[in-house]
Chains A and B, each alone.
Chain A
Amino acid sequence: MDQVIQTIIIGLSNGLIFALVALGYTLVYGIIELINFAHGDLFMLGSFIAFVLISLVFHINADTGLPMMIGVILVVIAITMLATATINASIERVAYRPLRNAPKLAPLISAIGMSFVLQNIALLIFGPANKSVDAILPPVNVLSSFGISTITISSEQVFVAIVTIPLLVGLTWFVSKTRQGKAMRATAQDPDTAGLMGVDVNRTIAITFLIGGALAGAAGVVQILYNNTTVWNLGFRFGLNSFTSAVLGGIGNLQGAVLGAMILGLINAFSDRYIAANWTNAIVFGVLIAILVFKPTGLLGQQLADRA
């Protein structure tokens, strides 16, 4: 039983990171119906940017004092989010916007090209080997202060939740309550009509990419502090897990993406624990195919179902 609970905790922590990336997929798909293949690789770049900042620029390690560390981590998150948001918006400008009126598959192929470009940039700069940072968060079991020792919630897992949940809440607020969020929803429904109503469609799409990129950057920081390691081809599998989450929840649906990510995190954790880690990818892809074939609208539904 403890083991099951432990697996659930691991699954939910992974799921939170998937959720940040999945939101990027679902926002972009919701607004321009593009599977942004390069999004997973943007997340990978985010983790490398965080790696550079943590271990080469700020030189923080486990001995750094707590207030200093919190400050530095916040700065790292801010810089990385800014960087990946800029990269994502630039990619949109260079590779996708010129193809706005081309057949649907042209931007998809362009996105695959960008994915390879990002991967190889990381390979060129950082080389093929894994890059690791020190485990800088204190190695304590948060539950031990409640007298539980058989189940572990590590400080890394708490950190994941502390960073991720406010971002998820903030995004939901932004999309549902602000003027810009309304413009995004309008553009997602019908770009032409939104344009006629005075929404600057190009600007709205660019902002969507900025937000998606920022979330991927935050996910990159969280991932490198949680797993302490990153590698140039991390984005492909991670991206497909996240995309599967978005599809599972109903692509274009923000709450759906988070729900899907939690389920995917659990599927990953249980498959790693109880089946075999080398089957996990096949299982995730099997889930993806099954949803797309049998319920392309996902669990919470989407308005674009008939176009899928």
Chain B
Amino acid sequence: MTTQTKPVERGFGGWVGFLVDSLVAIPGAYAHAFRRRPVRTVVLTVLVIFGLIYPVLNKEFFQPYNRLSNAFPLPFPEDAVVTFMMIFAIMAIGLNIVAGFAGLLDLGYVAFYAFGAYTAAFLASPHFGSVSIVLFSETIPGFPGIHLPFWMLVPIAMAVAAAFGALLGAPTLRLRGDYLAIVTLGFGEIVPVIFKNLASVTFDLGPIHLVNANLTGGNLGINPIDPPIFFGIRFGSSSGIAAVYLGMILLAGAIIIARNLERSRMGRAWMAIREDEIAAEMMGVNPVRTKLLAFALGASFAGVAGVFQASYQGLTTSDFFTFATSILVLIMIILGGIGNIWGVIVGAITLVFVDKTFLPYLGQRMAAINSDLPNPSQFNFLIFGVLLVIMMRFRPEGFIPSRQRAAELRHAPPGQAIGSAATMGDAAVAAENLADTIAASQEEEVLAEAAAVEEETAAADGTSETPPRGPEGQP
């Protein structure tokens, strides 16, 4: 005899009742979610609502029918701007893994964006016209060049970017803080220079003969690049809304992966390394593996963003990948709240909006008043620079902070701040500090581990006294 419950048989009235019950239950569930995780709920709600009503709001669709918007033109982001919001949100999530979770300041993140973009440019364009490789692509066979479909480019670009991420990570493992930042900056400057200069390569080694081969298109870059095509529908810059939705899908994937990484064993290891590398290593976290994975996985997000940028715009040149772009992504995560995925998404969307829609709009309005006024969109980095200084001074944890990160940024760990007498060997204080900051998180496992280490170090000191509490308690 089976214990299987018999499916409820509902008549029409029953179905209506079920539907009403479900609808009634939604506000309660929503309110519960809002109480538990207010930021996440609000950001997700706004994103979903925006996604649903976007086609209606869409400027081209909306404007001809709307006298009001013609009389008072508001700054409304165009399809291309919304697509770039998605691209930069994906990058912000990736940089957040490196800089936010693992605490490794990467000032050359744009290099991985470039690797993604050039992956698409090499593998889905007529650039290498001497060969003809068409795989699963909806391009006519016999068309020159290599043409791989978008769904295949994404994992390839992730792998390429991750490999270069590990390559950058490997020699920098011994460095910390500002030296690491400078090495990554150098890497971020070298990569675009290489892409720019490999326009005429002469190379003769064994079976490979190249005479003045144009590998990267030089200053002009590579175009046209195939747009993403799914089931015969193009998702390029000429297809407007379709590309926005492809971007949203990619962003959703990025969010899911990053959330899972954050809550995984590796995510906790990243945060432990960020808080105190020595203490984390004593607890059994392998710093080499942990940092390399942070670099590689963080880079893979930029790889996806790069593929999407190149396929969407249909071109890529080395001029896209400047230090300013790296810093723009850094400002996004600092503004939004470093360490908090939802915060950095909001930061990315806000900053792209300000940069690409609001400042040009402001410029138009100002020019209408007086044509001699300077154009604010030309001085966007003046505004962003001031923003960075002000944020560091008054709100280093960002507008939507991660609680854990906020605690760290407000109190420098021992040995790092000028004026702190503690040395790196002061493990008891370090472990105490680690426990303090982790207490803000809800990860019981980490808490238990930290507490264990605290006991161990206290025992190793041969004293039962409570170690001095936090950085302020030091002599």
Contact = CB atoms under 8 A, between A and B. Distances in A.
Contacts of A276: 197
Contacts, number: 150
Which of A100, A114, A120 has most B Cβ within 10 Å?
Answer: A120
Interface residue tally of chain B, by bracket? 35 or more
B393 A120 contact: no
Contacts of B447: none
B213 interface: no
Contact of A192 (B175, B378, B379, B421): B421
A98 interface: yes
Contacts of B183: 288-289, 292-293
Contacts of A124: 374, 379, 382
Contacts of A32: 418
B419 A107 contact: no
A234 interface: no
Contacts of A296: 175, 179
A113 B389 contact: yes
A128 to B, nearest CB: 8
Contact of A191 (B334, B386, B389, B419): B419
Given A103-B417, A124-B374, A285-B186, A113 B387 contact: yes
A281 interface: yes
Which of A98, A109, A110, A308 has most B Cβ within 10 Å?
Answer: A109
B394 to A, nearest CB: 9
Given A101-B419, A281-B193, A288-B186, A106 B409 contact: yes
B334 A109 contact: yes
B323 interface: yes
Nearest to A294: B171
A238 B471 CA distance: 38
B149 to A, nearest CB: 33
14 contacts: A95-B393, A103-B413, A103-B416, A104-B178, A104-B412, A110-B388, A110-B389, A110-B392, A114-B389, A117-B385, A120-B385, A289-B183, A289-B190, A292-B175
Given A115-B385, A117-B386, 17 more contacts: A34-B178, A95-B389, A98-B393, A104-B412, A107-B392, A110-B388, A112-B330, A114-B385, A116-B385, A120-B381, A240-B185, A282-B189, A286-B186, A289-B183, A289-B187, A292-B179, A296-B175
Interface of B: 105, 107, 171-172, 174-179, 181-183, 185-187, 189-190, 193-194, 196-197, 323-324, 327, 330, 334, 374, 378-379, 381-382, 384-389, 392-393, 396, 408-409, 412-413, 416-421
